């Protein structure tokens, strides 16, 4: 069964009129009617009682409407969630740091990050540089805050600072 046909079915079931449903879907009525007829053939049931005066859902149509709404809501929700994760505004970010980084710029950055991205689960842990490097390579963490800088070829490093406050030696982020 095609997802598109479920969307078509829901529009017809909510409008109880093929013409209005076609307008809502921004399509012509004949292809919509063909899609609904194909859905009924695929399922082996009538979804609508059709007469010249009106259209009504059958018992099977009532069930499919309820389930279709749930399915479409779940799919839409999944797409929104995946999009938010892809944009970095949701999901989980695993950050590990050397203990000395917690006395400099890192707490301010973490506080700011949490206020800007409240839907991101921020997992923090302290490690030494050797463990940071191993955890990055094994993808156990997403970001490492290290002193001194990690030298792995696969890492991209950035020096951390806030405004005009520089810390010596500056911690670096590797990802």
Work out the average pLDDT over 30-55.
94
Instruction: Between 120 and 157, name the one with better pLDDT.
Output: 120
Tell me the pLDDT of the chain averaged across its residues: 87
Domain boundary among 66, 86, 106: 86
pLDDT band at 169; cut points 50, 70, 90: very low
**Continuous H helices in the chain:** 3-15, 18-24, 29-43, 59-87, 106-116, 129-137
Confidence at residue 163, expressed as pLDDT on a 0 to 100 scale: 52
* Domain final residue, candidates 86, 101, 126: 86
Question: Looking at the structure, do residues 115 and 73 belong to the same domain, yes or no?
Answer: no
User: Is the pLDDT assigned to residue 55 strictly greater than 50?
Assistant: yes
Residues 107 and 127 in one domain: yes
Q: Do both 45 and 103 map to the same domain?
A: no
Task: Single out the residue in 86, 119, 153 at which a domain terminates.
Answer: 86
- Give the C-alpha separation, 168 to 26, whole Å: 62
Identify whether residues 107 and 125 lie together within a single domain: yes
* Contacts with 155 (C-beta within 8 Å, 6 or more apart), sequence order: 136, 144, 174, 175
Is beta strand 48-50 parallel, antiparallel or unpaired with respect to 91-97?
unpaired
CATH assignment of the domain containing 74 = 1.10.10.10
Instruction: Say yes or no to pLDDT of 167 above 50.
Output: no
- With a cut of 80, say whether residue 104 has pLDDT above it: no
> In percent, how much of the chain has pLDDT > 90?
51
Is 0.85 surpassed by the pTM of this model?
no
- 125 and 61 together in one domain: no
Same domain, 107 and 60: no
Q: What is the mean pLDDT of residues 146-168?
A: 68
In terms of residue numbers, what domain contains 16? 3-86
Q: What is the pLDDT of residue 161?
A: 64
Predicted confidence (pLDDT) at residue 48 exceeds the cutoff of 70: yes
| Whether residues 9 and 66 fall in one domain | yes
Quick one: 93 and 78 in the same domain?
A: no
Number of domains in the chain: 2
- Same domain? For 58 and 132 the reply is no
């Amino acid at each position: 069964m095609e997802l598109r046909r479920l969307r078509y079915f829901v529009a017809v079931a909510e409008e109880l009129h093929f013409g209005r449903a076609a307008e809502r879907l921004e399509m012509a009525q004949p292809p919509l009617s063909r899609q609904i007829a194909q859905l009924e053939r695929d399922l082996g049931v009538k979804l609508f009682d059709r007469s010249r005066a009106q259209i009504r859902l059958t018992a099977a149509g009532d069930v499919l409407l309820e389930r279709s709404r749930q399915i479409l809501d779940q799919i839409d929700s999944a797409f929104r969630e995946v999009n938010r994760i892809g944009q970095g505004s949701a999901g989980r970010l695993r950050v590990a740091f050397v203990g000395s980084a917690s006395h400099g710029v890192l707490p301010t950055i973490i506080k700011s990050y949490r206020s800007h991205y409240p839907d991101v689960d921020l997992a923090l842990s302290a490690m030494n540089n050797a463990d940071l490097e191993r955890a990055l390579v094994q993808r156990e963490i997403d970001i490492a805050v290290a002193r001194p800088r990690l030298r792995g070829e696969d890492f991209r490093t950035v020096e951390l600072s806030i405004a005009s406050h520089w810390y010596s030696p500056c911690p670096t982020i590797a990802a």
